[in-house]
Chain A
Amino acid sequence: MGEKGKMAITKKEVEKIARLSRLGMSEEEKDMFTKQLDTILEYVNKLKEVDVSSVDESRNVWKTMPHRDDAVKPSLSVDDALSNAPDKSKGHFKVPRIIE
């Protein structure tokens, strides 16, 4: 990745990533994004220079984190829950055919 002459990311990888992130894309867009992502990945590759052999991953940690009591709180009404639904039927959200 990012070695002399080699792309940090290929168009095929971009297609795979687009599919994984459910982003439809025209051929032109694929070409454009391949170029741009290649530039960006080349840039972020500079992290390879850093010696992280004795370092832990950073985490935000507080001493205590709120935990909820197991108490039931009022839910939204069905109308409110579905109020922004692009398509609905019989109290359900409706979606097109699901294929695996």
Chain B
Amino acid sequence: MNLNELTAHELSEKLKKGETTSVEVVSSVLKRIKDVDAKINAFLLVDEESAVTQAKKADERIQKKQAGPLTGIPVAVKDNMCIKGQTTTCGSRILFNFKPPYEAAVVEKLRSEGAVIIGKTNMDEFAMGSSTENSAFKKTSNPCDLNCIPGGSSGGSAAAVSADETILALGSDTGGSIRQPAACCGVVGMKPTYGRVSRFGLVAFASSLDQIGPFAKDVRDCAALLNAISGPDNRDSTSATEPVPDYTSHLDGNLKNVKIGLPEEYFIEGIDPDVRKAVDSAVQVMEKSGAKIVKVSLPMTQYCLAVYYIIAPAEASSNLARYDGVHYGYRTQKSENIIEMYMKTRQEGFGAEVKRRIMLGTYVLSSGYYEAYYKRALKVRTLIREDFKKAFEKADVLVTPTSPTPAFRLGEKTSDPLQMYLSDIFTVSLNLAGLPGISIPCGFKGNLPVGLQITGKPFDEAAVLKTAYAYEQAAGWHMKRRQESR
């Protein structure tokens, strides 16, 4: 196997033993990108020079026996996380030339671990979308079927990992933007508990929902990356001070006595039958491994999408107000006065989906509608949280499909926004309740992967990862992806 096709933990072993170097690993990854990215379009920016420099430094560290589990390992970063001096576009024309004079907290952490940051990945503009088709720059294809979407909004990161163009990647998840692309591309993707990972340097979409999380080829790698990026940050007032356990330490493959809850509202008519079959089989595998299956109910499920599509656009409409051509980013060529400048800049700089959500958000916050929409949504959000609290009295983790369908075709849903929003139907609830959640492969429909979602109590990423790992090892889908990768 080529170096770029291995996992981080396999590579880390080789690096430690001196069987390979970071320069060789990075070189393998860069070659792969050159070979396939013209078709996949996962990357917006690849910085070869910087990657090689970082790799050389990592090799020095490895030689000095000062390496950690991520030292020398290539990582791709979604283009909504600031890297100092490199363009950070958020997939938007309005930030086409923005070079941050500072760096995101997670990027700082990766650097201190000696990881090699190789480039920025494509995304739906400002993380708004479920297919990465809203990027102002390019459309990313699903490596499993180039005519299909990679999911969104972190489609670039998911595709890059899936196509072995990188070993690890970071994405962001506001309504499912890590989990759904992970499911579409057949890789592992996780959204931590809200507050687990610092948002400092993550360009905000919806402040009370956004979280940065890992993409990986297997659960062990995912846990290692989660270790590296988690922890409090006194530059983020919403970051939690809960201690960070070693997320790789309870991956023992043992599901005995783990209570797995199946929320009945997530197993409804309208789910693709192959998705349903794959998920049902997965549950059987878990049961055979010793888990206890319990039925739970989350009665507020039918309202989750509505709550999400009020709260997220509301916060976004305010967060995106700063893109006005005054201090940075795109500014329209000619304008008579500042109001005209604002209006034309934003008209020309933003895509349709972003405009749609800004207007929706402005509307639900506006005088006369605030009570009926935003305030009400916040209250229903409380009920959603209570739903989960009750369910977790009976179960340790909950299992659901990640998405009602596998990846759909490029262009299939772009003309109907509401249809597009319905892809998020199983994922948004976790953002609303601030819970950790992972998507792992659990089968295929033809070439297209199917994802299984596991969610846990706040700050109980350990239980989620333990369950995911045990299932993964028992079912072996991660090996299947490897065998089929080109």
Bound-complex Cα distance A1 to B339 (A): 31
Residues of chain B in range 229-259 having any CB-CB distance to chain A below 8 Å: 232, 234, 237-241
Q: Which of B125-133, B317-325, B470-478 contacts A (4 or more CB under 8 A)?
A: B317-325
Asked if A47 meets B376 with Cβ closer than 8 Å, knowing A17-B363, A23-B358, A99-B338, the reply is yes
Bound-complex Cα distance A22 to B340 (A): 9
Residues of B with C-beta under 8 A to A20: 362, 366
Q: Is B195 an interface residue (CB 8 A)?
A: yes
- Contact A44–B310 (Cβ < 8 Å): yes
| A37, chain B: closest CB distance, angstroms | 6
- Contact B360–A84 (Cβ < 8 Å): no
Residues of A with C-beta under 8 A to B307: 47
Q: Is A52 an interface residue (CB 8 A)?
A: yes
- Contact B379–A95 (Cβ < 8 Å): no
| A98, chain B: closest CB distance, angstroms | 5
Q: Is B335 an interface residue (CB 8 A)?
A: yes
- Contact B329–A87 (Cβ < 8 Å): no
Q: Is B43 an interface residue (CB 8 A)?
A: no
Q: Is B418 an interface residue (CB 8 A)?
A: yes
- Contact A21–B310 (Cβ < 8 Å): no
Interface string of B421-451 (1 = CB under 8 A from A): 1000000000000100000000000000000
- Contact A96–B335 (Cβ < 8 Å): yes
List 24 interface pairs A-B (beta carbons < 8 Å), by A numbering. A22-B343, A23-B358, A24-B340, A24-B347, A25-B347, A33-B355, A36-B356, A40-B418, A41-B360, A43-B418, A47-B303, A47-B373, A47-B377, A50-B300, A50-B383, A55-B383, A57-B378, A60-B195, A80-B101, A83-B99, A84-B98, A86-B330, A95-B326, A96-B336
Q: Which 8 A-B pairs have the closest CB atoms?
A: A24-B347, A84-B328, A24-B343, A86-B331, A57-B378, A58-B381, A52-B379, A22-B342
B interface vs A, CB < 8 Å? 97-99, 101, 194-195, 208, 232, 234, 237-241, 300, 302-303, 305-307, 309-310, 317, 321, 324-331, 335-344, 346-348, 350, 355-356, 358-360, 362-363, 366, 372-373, 375-385, 417-418, 421, 434
